[in-house]
Structure 1
Amino acid sequence: MKSMQIGRAKLTWLDGGVTHMDGGAMFGVVPKPLWSRKYPVNDKNQIELRTDPILVEVDDRKLLIDSGIGKGKLTDKQRRNFGVKEETNIDESLQELGYTRADIDTVLMTHLHFDHACGLSIADEEGYAPAFPNATIYTSEVEWEEMRNPNIRSQNTYWKVNWEPVQHQVETFKQSKEIVPGLKMVHTSGHSDGHAVIIFEDGEETFVHMADIMPTHAHQNVLWVLAYDDYPVTSVHEKQKWMKYGNDRKAWYIFYHDYKYCALRYDQEGNVIDQVEKEQHTYEN
């Protein structure tokens, strides 16, 4: 596991599993000869996308950003279609740090698509139970509403098994929510209608987590958005806004999905000035 300190916050990337999703869908209208120069692709046209929750330890709090792909929730067909070569190992990651799931007091859900929310509940004798029983789960009001009442398109990614066991733990917000001093969630829409980003400021130290409006380092170009996005033009505008904010502050951009980087910093011209790489994994075919 990789850790880093940003201001008074310590960040650690847990082992949340991996998907391999269609590269064309992940880069939308961008031609493959362009995006494949920036992000590796396999012979099935799939790109590796980690689903690694980020543990944030700040002010004696233990917060988790998103929850991983989970364990035992996917059918064989889903595992094949989504390229899931490895499921979550969060218990093992937390154990290495001397923690358990019960120590997590807050979960920040940028959105509730299955590859972010499957880790919210775990199987037990009666069906499914909260994976983080002592945590308050924050998500935007819009996202929570669609999670429970998906439309004909979004029902493929908003699953009842991911929200019903934890509904008593959920707190929603409209535009923004400060979780601890300097750490806030901001509703952006774009990737999903309820999608949110996470911003942390502590003096001159800043991190920006743009979640799936910039899921990997290869999505740095503001026009490179996902075919999965419900509101792609909104994604473009929000990415442009938050990248200007981050680059002006030489902020760290932290990643949940990126196969290579935990975090990157750019200058005002968008050049990489610092980086923290993830531990590399190998998978069986």
Structure 2
Amino acid sequence: METLHIGRARLTWLPGGVTHLDGGAMFGVVPKPLWSKKYPVNERNQIELRTDPILIEIDDKKLLIDSGIGNDKLTDKQIRNFGVSEQSHVVLSLNKLGYSTEDIDYVLMTHLHFDHACGLTKWQGGELQPAFEKAIIYTSKTEWNEMRKPNVRSANTYWESNWKPIEQLVHPFSERMEILPGLQMVHTGGHSDGHSIICFEDGEDCFIHMADIMPTNAHQNPLWVLAYDDFPVTSVYAKQKWLDYGYKKKAWVTFYHDAYYRALRYDRNGKIVDQMKRVE
């Protein structure tokens, strides 16, 4: 498990599962000869995408960014269609660090698509129960509303099994919320109507978790957005805004999906000046 210290925050990536999705869908209208130079693709035109929650330890609190794909939450057909080659090891990883699921104080859900939210619930005694029993779960009010009443398009990714068992733990916020001093969630929209990013600042130290408006290192170009995005132009503007902010702060950008990098730090011109690679 890779660990990165940024200011008073300690970040640890937990193995939450692996999917393989269509590269064309992940890069939208960008031609394959361009995006395939920046991110490897297999013979089925699929790219590897992690679903790895980030454990943040700060001010004696333990937080997770998103929850992974869980275990035994997908049908055989879904496993095949989403190219799932590995399910979650989050609980085992927490145990190796000396923690349990009950030690998690907050879960910060950037959005509630299945590949981020399946890990919120677990099977216990034949029923689905909250996976993080004592945690407060934060997500935007817009996202939470659509999760419970999806439209004809979003019903494919917002599943009752991922919200019904944890609804008593969810605390929706409107546009912006400070979770702890210097750590905030900000509603951006774009990838989904309720999508949020996470920003932490501690003096000169900063990280920005762009979630699915910048799912991999290869999506740095603001115009390279996903075909999965519900509001792609909103994604473009949100990514440009937060990258510009991050460049000025020389911030780290952290990733949930990237199979090769955990985090990258950019200078004021958008050039990489530091990196943390994923260790096999």
Tell me the secondary structure at the aligned position of residue 143 of structure 1: helix
Please say if 1:157 is aligned against 2:134: no
Please say if 1:24 is aligned against 2:24: yes
Aligned to 1:283: none
Aligned to 1:87: 87
1:162-181 residue pairs with structure 2 within 5 A? 162-181=162-181
Distance, in Å, in 1 between the alignment partners of 2:91 and 2:7 is 27
1:172-191 residue pairs with structure 2 within 5 A? 172-191=172-191
Distance, in Å, in 2 between the alignment partners of 1:102 and 1:43 is 42
Letter in 1 for 2:52: D
Aligned to 2:272: 272
Normalised to the residue count of structure 2, the TM-score between the two structures is: 0.99
Shift of 1:92: 1.2
Q: For each residue in 1:129-148, what CA deviation from the matched residue of structure 2 results, as whole angstroms up to 9, or x when unmatched?
A: 00000000000000000000
Query: Which stretches in structure 1 are left out of the alignment for 5+ residues?
Result: 281-285
Letter in 2 for 1:70: G
Letter in 2 for 1:168: Q
Distance, in Å, in 1 between the alignment partners of 2:200 and 2:41 is 32
Letter in 1 for 2:74: L
Aligned to 1:249: 249
Distance, in Å, in 1 between the alignment partners of 2:4 and 2:193 is 31
Shift of 1:24: 0.3
**Identity score, percent:** 66
Distance, in Å, in 2 between the alignment partners of 1:231 and 1:189 is 7
Distance, in Å, in 1 between the alignment partners of 2:168 and 2:184 is 22
Aligned to 2:230: 230
Q: For each residue in 1:60-103, what CA deviation from the matched residue of structure 2 results, as whole angstroms up to 9, or x when unmatched?
A: 00000000011001111100110100000011110110001110
Letter in 2 for 1:217: N
Tell me the secondary structure at the aligned position of residue 152 of structure 2: coil
C-alpha RMSD over aligned residues:
0.5
Aligned to 2:196: 196
Aligned to 1:69: 69
Distance, in Å, in 2 between the alignment partners of 1:199 and 1:41 is 30
Between stretches 267-276 and 186-195, larger displacement belongs to 267-276
Distance, in Å, in 1 between the alignment partners of 2:226 and 2:260 is 19
Distance, in Å, in 2 between the alignment partners of 1:80 and 1:151 is 24
Tell me the secondary structure at the aligned position of residue 270 of structure 1: coil
Q: For each residue in 1:36-81, what CA deviation from the matched residue of structure 2 results, as whole angstroms up to 9, or x when unmatched?
A: 0000000111000000000000000000000001100111110011
1:96-135 residue pairs with structure 2 within 5 A? 96-135=96-135
Between stretches 161-170 and 125-134, larger displacement belongs to 125-134
Distance, in Å, in 1 between the alignment partners of 2:12 and 2:162 is 24
Distance, in Å, in 2 between the alignment partners of 1:166 and 1:91 is 17
What is the count of residue pairs matched by the alignment?
Answer: 280
Aligned to 2:58: 58
Distance, in Å, in 1 between the alignment partners of 2:32 and 2:225 is 13
Aligned to 2:261: 261
Letter in 2 for 1:257: H
Aligned to 1:42: 42
Shift of 1:126: 4.3
Q: For each residue in 1:227-280, what CA deviation from the matched residue of structure 2 results, as whole angstroms up to 9, or x when unmatched?
A: 000000000000000000000110000000000111001112211100001122
Letter in 2 for 1:76: D
